[in-house]
Structure formats: C-alpha cells, structure tokens
Amino acid sequence: MTFAVAVAGASGYAGGELLRILSGHPDFEVRTVTAHQNAGQPLVAVQPHLRSLAHLTLQATTPEVLAGHDVVFLALPHGKSGELAAAFDPETLVVDCGADHRLRSESDWTAFYGGEYFGAWSYGVPELFVGGSASPLKQREALVGERRIAAPGCNASTVALSLAPGVRAGVIDDRDLVAVLAVGPSGAGKTLKITMLASEILGSANPYAVGGTHRHIPEIRQALRAAGATAPTISFTPVLVPMSRGILATSTARIVPGTDAATVRAAWHDAYSDEPFVQLLPEGDFPRTADTLGANTALIGLAVDEAAGRVVVVAALDNLVKGTAGAAIQSANIALGLPETTGLSLNGVAP
Ligand SMILES: NC(=O)C1=CN([C@@H]2O[C@H](COP(=O)(O)OP(=O)(O)OC[C@H]3O[C@@H](n4cnc5c(N)ncnc54)[C@H](OP(=O)(O)O)[C@@H]3O)[C@@H](O)[C@H]2O)C=CC1
Ligand SMILES: CC(=O)N[C@@H](CCC(=O)OP(=O)(O)O)C(=O)O
C-alpha cells in the first residue's frame, strides 16, 4: 500500500528535510506541500535541492488543503500545528515536528512557551525507555497504531538519549546533570534573525539561553522521568557554532558511589545494543557531527572520569534528520506497521 502524504511547512528547513527523506521512501507518496509566504511558488523555487519533487507547487496551509491524506507531517512555527490539529480526521496519522504537543505538563508549557496549551501526543523518540526503571518498555511500543505523534526537539532528544540509560539503570545521580551543546544554526529555522547572520556566526561560538531558560529543559526532564528519574535537574547550555547542521552534546552526570566503570558502560550498551539508529561507539571512540550528517543516526561515545566521579557522554546527531525529520518518519513507520527503518539511512554524507 502507498500512503498519501502532505507536508505542511514544506518551504522550511524541517519541511525540506522531510521531503528529501520521503522522496526516497518506498511506501510514501508526497501529494501535497504547503507553506505560508511562499504559497503559490513551485516547490523547487524554494527548495532547489529537491529536483524529484519538481511537479509540486506550494499551497496555502489550511485544513482543507491538508485533508484527504493518510499521513500529514507538520513543520510549522510553534502554535500553528496546535491551531490546525482539531481539524484532522482521527484516522489520519499526524506527526508534528513543532513543540505544540510535546509536553505533558501544562505548567511547563506555560512557563517555557506560553499561549494556549494543546495537550501532549505520543513522543517520537522510539529508543527512549518509558515506565520507569523497572520497565522494559520503550517509547516505540507506545507508537504502534498511534495517530498523533510529537517529534522531538533536536537538542532535547540528543540529551535525553545521552542520559536516559544511566538514569534507568540507576548508575547516575539524576539531580546533578550537566549538558553543554554545540549546535548549528539550521536548528533555528530559515526565519531572518540578526543573531543568525553569517557575519554574527562565522568565526565565533555564541552561547544562548544560558541559565536554565531553554525551552528544551522541560522536555528533557519529561523524558528522564519516563526512564525512572524522580525529580531530575539539569544545567543545559547550548552554544551556536559555525556548522550549518549538527549537534554535539557533552552531557555529564555524577556516578552513584560504588558503581564501577564497567557497570556504567553496560547501562548504555544494554539500552542501545539492539537499536539500529542509536549506537554506542567502542570504548575510547567519540563521535563527530560530520559522521551523522544526512543520516538518521545518533552516535554516542562514553567515558568514565574516575577523578571527577562523573560519566561523560558525547552524542552527535543531525538536528534535521535524527533530531527532527528522520525521527518523525521513523515514528510514522512504527505507527503504520511498516519496518521501522524503511526509507531511513545509517549513512551520512562526507566530507
Ligand atoms: N530546524 C530544526 O532543526 C528543527 C525544527 N523543529 C521544528 O520544526 C518546525 C519548523 O521548523 P523549521 O523548518 O526549522 O522552520 P522554518 O522557519 O525553516 O520553516 C517554517 C515553515 O513554516 C511556514 N510558516 C511560517 N509562518 C507560518 C504561519 N503563520 N502559518 C503557517 N505556516 C507558516 C513557513 O512558510 P513560508 O516559508 O512560506 O513562510 C515554512 O514553511 C518548528 O516548529 C521547529 O521548532 C524541530 C526540531 C528541529
Ligand atoms: C540554533 C537553535 O536556535 N536551535 C533551536 C533548536 C530548535 C528545535 O529543536 O526545535 P523546536 O523549536 O521545535 O524545539 C533552539 O535551540 O531552540
């Protein structure tokens, strides 16, 4: 069966990446693409790298245009998917790449986003544990047959994947977590902002949302609670660096006293040894963002710093693939009963 697909926000970065991956997916046919200011333009006028979709024209983003598809991917500014959500047929699979349906706590939503709260959907990171420390279940089980999915924030999923195995296994103290991330500007979308000008970014590393203010903090805490943390606290600092895409997150946590290095490493090994897309690298090996570009992978390197009593987890992924569009399509595959890896690649582009 071929599933008819619509992509809303198709002129943006996340929409473009959805289309790039969907165009190589054997079970999906992109029938409709929508935008806002660019509505009326041929898709390739805005996304000139998507030549196989040259027959498509960007339409307005309305419930009527998006109706009648089996699957709708939303890659819209925050608040816009929430406004559209009520209009979709309950049988249509809707995957939202925005934040509108990620948070289960309305007070977190109000504190970090504000505006109307639209309620939470199933979280689109299949590899995360759910149900606490004693549970063998992963988020993938919750996605089977699902029709409403919230794809993750790219920084949030990088850090959650980095720390969840240690939390679940009880080998780290979830009240003392620290994450510092190098992130590329494509995470901020195509919108014009002075802070994103090449003249501001090239040749500089620019911290932002310092001091516990970043909107992905409640999303990370939510994912860690699902893995068994009771009241996780995390110091989270993103740093914008001059690479168009990619995230390199260095997360550290205090090791529970008396836990040896092999037991710490085993927590991550056991969590991900059967996962196709989330891979723990051999001891002494650490990922580079360049190794993940264009691939649906999250690569993780781990070291135990005995002197500091901390585990150091370095994770790399492509914010537009495993951080957004790839996660959305992987989750859609699961929801529809397709093999989870369909249309998704372990291989990136290099150099
Ligand atoms: N970039 C990333 O790495 C990640 C992005 N996301 C999320 O994905 C979503 C899209 O992000 P991204 O692609 O980066 O953003 P972009 O700014 O690149 O794209 C935004 C898209 O939304 C459309 N749009 C803008 N305003 C409106 C409106 N008022 N109504 C309907 N459509 C509108 C734009 O259309 P037009 O061009 O015609 O104006 C464009 O297609 C966001 O929610 C973002 O947070 C999530 C994880 C990572
Ligand atoms: C460079 C940059 O600004 N990156 C964005 C990543 C946004 C993202 O992951 O998307 P959502 O907004 O959907 O959560 C940020 O840190 O907020």
Instruction: Provide ipTM, 2 decimals.
Output: 0.98
Stretches in the chain below the pLDDT threshold 70: none
Establish how many alpha carbons lie within 13 A of residue 293's alpha carbon, considering only the half-sphere containing its beta carbon.
13
With left for phi above 0 and alpha for psi between -120 and 50, is residue 160 left, alpha or beta? alpha
Predicted pLDDT at 351: 93
Taking CA atoms only, the protein residue closest to ligand 1 atom 19 is 12
- Name the active-site residue from 56, 76, 128, 154: 154
**Which atom of ligand 2 is the closest one to the Cα of 187?**
4
Tens of pLDDT, residue by residue over 66-110, are: 999 999 999 999 999 999 999 999 999 999 999 999 999 999 999
Predicted pLDDT at 223: 98
Instruction: Tell me the CA–centroid distance for residue 153 and ligand 2, in Å.
Output: 6
Predicted pLDDT at 1: 86
97 is catalytic: no
**Which atom of ligand 1 is the closest one to the Cα of 61?**
31
Which DSSP symbol is given to 151? P
Pull the structure tokens for residue 46: 């805005």
**Which atom of ligand 1 is the closest one to the Cα of 320?**
3
Pull the structure tokens for residue 125: 């990171």
Nearest Cα neighbor of 243 from 272, 205, 207 is: 205
Ligand closest to CA 206: 2
Instruction: Tell me the CA–centroid distance for residue 187 and ligand 2, in Å.
Output: 5
Query: Residues near ligand 1 with C-beta < 6 Å?
Result: 9-15, 35-38, 61, 75-78, 80, 97-99, 153-154, 186-187, 189-191, 319-320, 323-324
Q: At what angle do helices 154-169 and 261-272 cross, to 10 degrees?
A: 120
Predicted pLDDT at 27: 98
> CA-CA distance, 53 to 198, in Å (whole number)?
29
Ligand closest to CA 323: 1
**CA distance readout (Å), 232 to 3, 226, 227, 228:** 40, 11, 11, 10
What is the pairing mode between strands 148-150 and 298-305? unpaired
* Ligand 1 probe mutation, 50, 97, 181, most atoms within 8 A of CB: 97
CB 80 within 8 A of CB 60: no
Instruction: Tell me the CA–centroid distance for residue 317 and ligand 2, in Å.
Output: 14
Residue with tokens 């370095």: 314
Partnered with residue 303 across adjacent β-strands are: 312
Cis peptide upstream of residue 63 (ω within 30 degrees of 0): no
Max CA separation in the chain (angstroms): 63
